[in-house]
Structure 1
Amino acid sequence: MTTVDPEASALPAALAEPTARVRRGWIALLFSANLGVWMAFFTPIQILLPNQVADIAPGHKETALAWAMGFGALAAIIANPVAGAFSDRTTLTVGGRRFGRRHVWTVGGAVLGALSLLALSQQQTILGVTLAWVAAQACFNAMLAALTAALPDRVPVDQRGGVSGWAGIPQALGLVIGAVLVTTVFTGTISGYVAVAVAVLLLGLPFAFLTGDDPLPREHRPPFSWGVLLRGMWISPRRHPDFAWAWGTRFLVQVGNALGTLYLLYFLEDGVHYADPEGGLLILILLYTAGMMATAVYAGRLSDRSGRRKVFVIWSGVIMAVAALILAIWPVWTAAVVAAVLLGAGYGAYLAVDAALITQVLPAATSRGQDLGVINIANSAPQALGPFCAAWIVVYLGGYPTLYAATAVVTLLGSVLVRKIRSVP
Structure 2
Amino acid sequence: MTAPSADTALAEPVVPVRRSWMTWLFLANLGLWLGIYAPIQVLLPQQAADLGPGAKEAVFGLVTGVGAIVALVANPLIGLSSDRTTSRFGRRHPWTLLGALLGASGLVVLSIAPSVPVMTLGWCLVQAGLNGMLASLTSAVPDRVPVRQRAQVGGLVGVSQMLGTVLGAVLVTVVVSGLVAGYLACAVVVVAGALLFVLVTPDARLPPAHRPAFRAADLWVSPRRHPDFAWAWATHFAINLGNAFGTLYLLYFLADEVHHPSPEDGLLVLMLLYGVALAGGAFVVGPWSDRIGRRKPFVLAASGVMGFAALLLVVWPTWPAALVAAPLLGVGFGGYWAVALALLTQVLPAASDRAKDLGVVNIANSLPQVVAPLLTTFVLAGLGGYRGLFAVSAAATLLAAVLVTRVRSVA
TM-score (norm 2): 0.98
CA distance in 2, matches of 1:366, 1:381: 25
How many residues align? The count is 407
Q: Which residue of 2 aligns with 1:190?
A: 180
Task: Tell me how far 1:185 sits from its aligned partner.
Answer: 2.1
The one-letter code sitting in structure 2 at the alignment partner of 1:333 is: W
On the 8 A contact 1:110/1:204 being kept in 2, the answer is yes
Moved over 3 A (4+): none
The one-letter code sitting in structure 1 at the alignment partner of 2:134 is: L
Q: How does 1:174-185 map to 2 (within 5 A)?
A: 174-185=164-175
Structure 2 residue 41 is matched with structure 1 residue 51: no
Task: Tell me how far 1:397 sits from its aligned partner.
Answer: 2.4
Q: How does 1:219-368 map to 2 (within 5 A)?
A: 219-224=209-214, 228-229=215-216, 231-368=217-354
The one-letter code sitting in structure 2 at the alignment partner of 1:359 is: T
CA distance in 2, matches of 1:298, 1:378: 25
On the 8 A contact 1:105/1:143 being kept in 2, the answer is yes
Where 2:409 maps in the other structure, the secondary structure is coil
How well do the aligned residues superpose, as a CA RMSD in angstroms?
1.1
Q: Which residue of 2 aligns with 1:80?
A: 75
Q: Which residue of 2 aligns with 1:137?
A: 127
CA distance in 2, matches of 1:233, 1:271: 42
Task: Tell me how far 1:11 sits from its aligned partner.
Answer: 8.8
Q: Which residue of 1 aligns with 2:95?
A: 105
Q: Which residue of 1 aligns with 2:207?
A: 217
Task: Tell me how far 1:235 sits from its aligned partner.
Answer: 1.1
Q: Which residue of 1 aligns with 2:146?
A: 156
Structure 2 residue 112 is matched with structure 1 residue 118: no
Identity of aligned residues (%): 54
Rate the CA distance shift 1:422–1:11 in 2: closer, same or farther, 3 A: farther
On the 8 A contact 2:277/2:330 being kept in 1, the answer is yes
Structure 2 residue 401 is matched with structure 1 residue 415: yes
Task: Tell me how far 1:263 sits from its aligned partner.
Answer: 0.4
The one-letter code sitting in structure 2 at the alignment partner of 1:152 is: P
On the 8 A contact 1:162/1:298 being kept in 2, the answer is no
Alignment deviations for residues 107-129 of structure 1 (CA, whole Å, 9 cap, x no partner): 11111211110111111211111
Structure 2 residue 384 is matched with structure 1 residue 384: no
CA distance in 2, matches of 1:339, 1:76: 29
Structure 2 residue 117 is matched with structure 1 residue 127: yes
On the 8 A contact 1:317/1:416 being kept in 2, the answer is no
CA distance in 1, matches of 2:174, 2:291: 42
Structure 2 residue 370 is matched with structure 1 residue 375: no
Structure 1 residues not aligned, in runs of 5+: 1-9, 93-97
Task: Tell me how far 1:155 sits from its aligned partner.
Answer: 0.1
Alignment deviations for residues 352-407 of structure 1 (CA, whole Å, 9 cap, x no partner): 10110000000000000000000111111011111111122113321000000111
Where 1:223 maps in the other structure, the secondary structure is coil
CA distance in 2, matches of 1:402, 1:180: 29
Q: Which residue of 1 aligns with 2:389?
A: 403
Where 2:11 maps in the other structure, the secondary structure is coil
CA distance in 2, matches of 1:204, 1:36: 8
CA distance in 2, matches of 1:192, 1:277: 18
Mean Cα displacement is larger for which, 311-320 or 407-416?
A: 407-416
Task: Tell me how far 1:350 sits from its aligned partner.
Answer: 0.5
Alignment deviations for residues 149-188 of structure 1 (CA, whole Å, 9 cap, x no partner): 0000000000000011011101111121111111112111
On the 8 A contact 2:6/2:206 being kept in 1, the answer is no
Q: Which residue of 2 aligns with 1:7?
A: none
Where 1:420 maps in the other structure, the secondary structure is coil
TM-score (norm 1): 0.94
Structure 2 residue 188 is matched with structure 1 residue 202: no
